[in-house]
Chain A
Amino acid sequence: MAYTIEGSSGAWEVVIGLEVHAQIISRSKLFSGAATAYGAPPNSQVSFVDAAFPGMLPVANGECIRQAVRTGLGLNAQINLVSRFDRKNYFYADLPAGYQISQYEHPIVGSGVIEIELADGSTRRIGVTRLHVEQDAGKSLHDQDPARTFVDLNRAGVALMEIVSEPDLRSPEEAGAYVRKLRSILRYLGTCDGNMEEGSLRADVNVSVRKHGEPFRTRCEVKNVNSIRFVMQAVEAEALRQIKVWEDGGTVQQETRLFDPSRGETRSMRSKEDAHDYRYFPDPDLLPLVLDEDWVAGLRAELPELPDAKRARFIAEYGLSPYDAAVLVAEQATALFYEAVARGRDAKQAANWVTGDFFAALNRLGRSIEDPPVSAAALGGLLDLIADNTINGKIAKEVFEAMLETGEPAAAIVDARGLRQVTDTGAIDAAVDAVLAANPDKVAEFRAGKDKLFGFFVGQVMKAMAGKGNPALVNDVLRGKLQ
């Protein structure tokens, strides 16, 4: 069922396109050798090129270009062997040269596609229009002094990829899924860390609404949204606003807006009339960017396995459900962790443990997959003890908690705490005999046909054995003695 918003005039469809700005992972900036460390003291990561001193010239950083091409390949996109840098001219205090070097007419990457997964298990293919590289601007700090604005140029010149989607998204959920999937691909590729809090990934959200079957209506652009949750909220808030405008007999004006998360609404930033004339033209300081086809092919060959391929493989190779597979591949580190646990073991059981007790422990302890409280090898060791009948599943959970507390391997905990399950039939016989002797009335009821009491006997025996009885053996012995 397609997502719509019900207005007073009926159902409205929402049309969304996203422009995602992703900071390229690179030690130095797009056109200078200055470093790119986040959180460094203001103006400590600035070269004369970044500050646009007289006579300074940009030189394209090959690593940033490589990263952009790898990203294009990861988005199944066309790589343009010839692209060009243009200047986007406007005056602002944190734009030192008075222009941003970007790619306007001839981007390095052309059309591609991203497949998104939705909560109902369905998938949709979302078109990527283009990807281009450009410089970030610096930061104007208006809150440091009552009268003056301070400028921090650390970000000025940092390499960004602008990834533009087609207006293919139709709901807040799809917009969120798109950003989540794009972020996942970028992180797999190691081309962007995807950290939205630090601003290394941010989205401009283009929203319009229409009645079913209509052509597109006027859109508004909501700038610089910096979390997936806010992207989804901004879509909804802006769609509701536009529906109200149309239904009140007004006309939506094309404009740039800002999302205010505290109020859950968008507000106008500048209208089309105030829009800059950026006077784009080819940057004469830079030659056209020409890529070698073999070099691109080499990058393609070295791409890591990406989320879609990995998910398909997990389903096929490990027999996982599509849902479990999607959860496990969302982050490369999780997938790696899972595969380390699953290799040579019961893959389905490994998936249950990783997505169940292990994820719960991460959440509870506030740890990340990169810094897990229990290593994949250690978790694997625990599963091995279940597999060889050293412990049963119930005891395993207890052992896992002990592993979290102590950091000890599972086997050591089992030994030290005497949790090894009892497979000695003599001991089980004795425990069963004692339980039957202590409950003659229940034995009589069972034999009279009250089958449900079998569970009661199992529980009593396991309790008598402190949970360590091998469940299968306990069942066998009980069944034998009760008949």
Chain B
Amino acid sequence: MLTDLTLAEARAGLRAGRFSSRELTLAFLGAIEALNPRLNAFITVTAERALAQADAADAALARGEHAALTGIPLAIKDLYCTAGVRTTAGSRILAPFVPSYESTVSANLLRDGAVFLGKANMDEFAMGSSNMTSAYGAVTNPWTRRGDNRALVPGGSSGGSAAAVAARLALGATATDTGGSIRQPASFCGIAGIKPTYGRCSRWGVVAFASSLDHPGPLARTVEDCAILLGSMAGFDPKDSTSADIAVPDFAAACARGVKGLRIGVPREYRSDGMAPEIEALWRQGLDWLRAEGAEIVDVSLPHTRYGLATYYIVAPAEASSNLARYDGVRFGARTEGHDLIELYENTRAEGFGSEVKRRVMIGTYVLSAGYYDAYYLRAQKVRALILKDFTDVFQQVDALLTPTAPTAAFAQGERMDDPITMYLNDVFTVPANLSGVPGLSVPAGLDAQGLPLGLQVLGRHFDEETVFAVGAAIERAAGFPALPSIRAGA
């Protein structure tokens, strides 16, 4: 089945002429038609555009021209502005919003010949770890617990992207990661995903959640597929002042490097008392695999890790409260009229935003307020600097770190919804990489007792995604990970 191919395999098949991009695209569009009603992974499907792009790709291939992604069907997280295609950010407030511009990252993918199948569902404004906050409905994880048909969450915020890739509704997807929104859904859905270094992928045209923490990046079924996608997505963008003018290396080549001689750190602070034994076991297993491949395992300390989550939940809402001020009903998006300007704002934002977004806007407004700024925002910035220093120090000793991606496997829809704090705890292993900007990859490594996928996280030095890919690919090879989700194309 064409939908079972990895992105690398599909690319080889297209180049060899074994099938056309139109055939490949039709296979994925068919899978979406069949499964999206169950999964709700896509908010918008752009079948006609996809086929037009596929035909253009086939014409290019026929001329012997192939770029990195010519003819490869992808899902685009609905946080990326796509010219002429509605972009909602998972929010009601952007329901009528059709941008006339293309985000830099998605434009890079189009430049390299990619085919866009549609816009993937997500937590509203990327705020969430379950995809339950989307104004367009929850996304269902293609995986289910053994002997239990209850719908599980795919993780979030890139839940639609992850579910689409896991269920074989796309060869890969764009995603974003502000506190773990690529890595946690990758772990929950049994696929790979990388949050690259801050500055590696342009944020221009990606709807902002928290500017200093937002990282565009890819989700795909294999580490190599992620490397191929990141190679196209990355690159300096003068339109983003925080974009790094650093050459993009051959990430895919780095996947084959191996880990012989690498020093892999095990941060002791990631061992929490409440950690599920099977996650701890998998972590130990991952270290054993790397040791067996010739890596040296080193115990290290990231002493400020325990402040990461608290810091994150000050910095992220603070930036969000300001970034989301532009959704005021005046120039674009949804508007709910009022008798005066203040009422217009109140009505528009009350109707347009969901409760999680409102909660974070209020938290953010509070921590930036006069009299509270020093105690919250300023202190958080100081701790953030210490967390960054932890990583800088530890990467003097080791080449990469290995940790679990998330403290649990996927949970059921509706679980943990009563207490936002429990939900926030999902991000405990992932937020330090956002606060420090270091690259982090989640690779599927095993299953829990109920048959749900679990991921391991590889963290690396700034702009050293190559080592991260090398370590991730080694774990992927060792793990073998043959399991398949119960809901998938052709199943």
Q: Which residues of A contact B (CB under 8 A)?
A: 48, 51-60, 87, 89, 91-93, 96-99, 149, 151, 277, 279-281, 284-287
Q: Is the CB of B210 within 8 A of A98?
A: no
The answer to whether residues A60 and B325 also contact, given A55-B103, A55-B208, A279-B368 and a CB cut-off of 8 A, is no
CA separation between A277 and B211, bound complex, in Å?
22
- Tell me, yes or no, whether B463 is within 8 Å of chain A by CB: no
Say if the beta carbon of B241 comes within 8 Å of chain A.
yes
Binary contact track B323-340/A, C-beta < 8 Å → 1, others 0 = 001101011100000000
Q: How far is the CA of A55 from the CA of B101 in the complex (A)?
A: 10
Q: Please, which residues of chain B bring their CB within 8 A of the CB of A99?
A: 322, 325
The answer for the CA separation of A48 and B81 in the assembled complex, in Å, is 13
Report B-chain residues with C-beta under 8 Å of the C-beta of A91.
325, 328, 345
In the complex with contacts A89-B322, A97-B326, A277-B369, A59-B210 CB distance below 8 A:
no
Question: Inside 8 A of A97's CB, which chain B residues have their CB?
Answer: 325-326
> Chain A nearest CB: distance from B265 CB in Å?
29
Contacts A89-B368, A281-B377 given; does A286 touch B241 at CB 8 Å: yes
* Interface hits, B74-125 → A, CB 8 Å: 80-81, 87, 89, 94, 97, 99, 101, 103
Q: Are A98 and B325 in contact (CB under 8 A)?
A: yes
A29 CB to nearest chain B CB (Å): 14
CB-nearest residue of chain A to B240:
A57
What are the 4 tightest A-B residue pairs by CB atom distance, in nearest-first order? A98-B325, A284-B212, A284-B211, A279-B368
Kindly state the separation between the CA atoms of A60 and B89 in the bound complex, as whole angstroms: 27
> In whole angstroms, what is the CA distance A58 to B319 when docked?
15
Q: Which residue of A53, A60, A281 is within 8 Å of B373 (Cβ)?
A: A281
Q: Is the CB of B319 within 8 A of A284?
A: yes
Q: For residue A294, give the distance in angstroms from its CB to the closest CB of chain B.
A: 21
Asked if B207 and A52 sit within 8 Å, CB to CB, the answer is: no
In the complex, residue of chain B having the shortest beta-carbon distance to the beta carbon of A97? B326
Contact B322 A281 (CB under 8 A): yes
Residue numbers in B under 8 Å from A52 (CB-CB): 326, 331
Using known A-B contacts A97-B325, A151-B330, A281-B322, determine if residue A54 contacts B87 with beta carbons closer than 8 Å: yes
A87 to B319, CA, bound (A): 10
Chain B's nearest CB lies how many Å from the CB of A88?
Answer: 10
> Chain B interface mostly helix, strand, loop or mixed?
loop
Q: Which residue of B lies closest to A58 (CB)?
A: B241
Say yes or no: A59 contacts B238, CB within 8 Å.
yes
Question: Do A55 and B206 form a contact, CB below 8 Å, given A149-B341, A279-B365, A281-B318?
Answer: yes
User: How far does the alpha carbon of A286 sit from the alpha carbon of B101 in the complex, in Å?
Assistant: 21
- CB <8 Å contact, B241 and A279: no
> Which residues does chain A contribute within 8 Å of B203, judged by CB atoms?
55, 57
Of residues 170 to 206 in B, which have CB atoms within 8 Å of A's CB atoms? 203-206
Are A285 and B368 within 8 A (Cβ)? Answer: no
In angstroms, Cα B373 to Cα A87, docked, is 14
Taking the complex as formed, is B242 at the interface, i.e. its CB lies under 8 A from any CB of chain A? yes
**Hey, which chain A residues are within 8 Å of B242, CB to CB?**
284-287
Q: How far is the CA of A56 from the CA of B328 in the complex (A)?
A: 16
Chain B, range 334-380, C-beta contacts under 8 Å to A: 341, 345, 365, 368-370, 373, 377
Of the A-B pairs whose beta carbons lie under 8 Å apart in the complex, a sample of 5, sorted by A's number, is: A55-B81, A55-B103, A59-B239, A277-B370, A284-B242
Most B-side CB within 10 Å, residue of A51, A55, A89: A55
Contact of A55 with B99 at beta-carbon distance under 8 Å, contacts A96-B331, A284-B210 already known: yes
For residue B365, which residues in chain A have a CB less than 8 angstroms away from its CB? 279
B211 to chain A, nearest CB (A): 4
**Other-chain contact of A55, B204, B212, B241, B373 (Cβ < 8 Å):** B204
Q: Please give me the residue from chain A that is nearest to B345 by CB atom.
A: A91
Distance in Å: Cβ of B328 to nearest Cβ of chain A: 7
Task: Find chain A residues with CB under 8 A from B210 CB.
Answer: 284
Does B241 contact A281, Cβ atoms closer than 8 Å? no
Q: Select from chain A the residue with minimum beta-carbon distance to B102.
A: A55
Residues of A within 8 A of B238 (CB): 59
Q: Once the chains are docked, how many angstroms separate the CA of A279 from the CA of B362?
A: 13
- CA A143 – CA B240 in complex, angstroms? 38
Closest to B329 in A: A93
List, in ascending order, chain A residues with CB within 8 A of B368's CB.
Answer: 89, 279-281
A284 vs B320: C-alpha distance in the bound complex, in angstroms?
11
B207 x A55 contact (CB < 8 A): yes
Interface band, chain B: 35 or more
Q: Taking chain A's interface residues, is the majority helix, strand, or loop, or is none over half, making it mixed? A: loop
How far does the Cβ of A437 sit from chain B's closest Cβ, in whole Å? 92
B103 CB contacts on chain A under 8 angstroms: 55
Please give, as numbers and ranges, the residues of chain B lying within 8 Å of A60 by CB-CB distance.
241
CB contacts (< 8 Å) of B377 on chain A: these are 281
CB distance from B98 to the nearest CB of A (A): 11
Beyond contacts A55-B203, A57-B204: 7 other A-B pairs, Cβ-Cβ < 8 A, are A48-B101, A53-B99, A53-B101, A53-B326, A59-B238, A96-B326, A151-B330
Give min CB distance, B3 to chain A, whole Å.
Answer: 31
Q: What distance in Å separates the Cβ of B377 from its nearest Cβ neighbour in chain A?
A: 6
B304 to chain A, nearest CB (A): 20
Contact B239–A57 (Cβ < 8 Å): yes
A149-B341, A284-B212 known; A54+B204 contact, CB < 8 A: no
The smallest beta-carbon distance between A254 and chain B, in angstroms, is 15
Contact indicator B101/A93 (Cβ below 8 Å): no
Contacts A55-B204, A281-B373, A284-B212 hold; do A96 and B330 have CB atoms under 8 A apart?
Answer: yes
Shortest Cβ distance from residue B31 to the other chain A in the assembled complex, whole angstroms? 29
Q: Determine if B99 and A54 form an interchain contact, defined as CB atoms under 8 angstroms apart.
A: yes
Chain B residues lying within 8 Å of A58, measured Cβ to Cβ, are 241
| A297 CA / B298 CA spacing, docked (Å) | 50
Residues 275-301 (chain B) with a chain A CB within 8 angstroms: none
CA distance A193 to B303 in the complex (A): 55
A285 B211 Cβ-Cβ under 8 A: yes
A97 to B331 Cα, complex, angstroms: 10
Closest beta carbon of chain A to B246's beta carbon, Å? 14
Chain A residues whose CB sits within 8 angstroms of the CB of B94 once the complex forms: 54
User: Given the complex of chains A and B, what is the CA–CA distance between A135 and B177 in angstroms?
Assistant: 30
Contacts of B241 in A (CB 8 A): 57-60, 285-287
Q: Which single member of A54, A57, A87, A93 contacts B97 (CB below 8 Å)?
A: A54
- Residues in chain B near residue A55, CB distance under 8 A: 80-81, 99, 101, 103, 203-208
Asked if B331 and A54 make an inter-chain contact with CB atoms under 8 angstroms apart, the answer reads no
| Nearest chain B CB to A444 CB, angstrom units | 94
Residue in A54, A87, A98 whose CB lies within 8 Å of B89:
A54
Contact in complex: A93, B341 (CB < 8 Å): yes
B148 CB, nearest partner CB in chain A, Å: 39
Residues of A with C-beta under 8 A to B80: 55
What is the minimal beta-carbon distance from A156 to any residue of chain B, in angstroms? 11
Contacts of A151 in B (CB 8 A): 330
B111: min CB distance to chain A, Å: 18
Taking CB atoms, residues of chain B closer than 8 Å to A54 are 81, 87, 89, 94, 97, 99, 207-208, 326, 332
- Nearest Cβ distance between residue A447 and chain B, in whole angstroms? 93
| Shortest Cβ gap from B332 to chain A (Å) | 6
Most buried by A among B89, B203, B207, B325: B325
CA A284 to CA B345, docked complex, whole Å: 24
Residues from chain A with Cβ under 8 Å of B318 in the complex:
281
A244 to B: closest C-beta gap in Å: 32
A93 surroundings in chain B (CB, below 8 A): 328, 330, 341
Chain A neighbourhood of B212, CB < 8 A: 284
Complex Cα distance A97/B322, Å?
A: 8
Residues of B within 8 A of A57 (CB): 203-204, 239-241
Q: Which residues of A contact B328 (CB under 8 A)?
A: 91, 93, 98
Contact with A along B302-322 (1 / 0, CB 8 A): 000000000000000011011
Contact with A along B442-454 (1 / 0, CB 8 A): 0000000000000
Chain A residues with CB below 8 A from B207, complex form: 54-55
Complex contacts, A149 vs chain B, CB 8 Å: 341
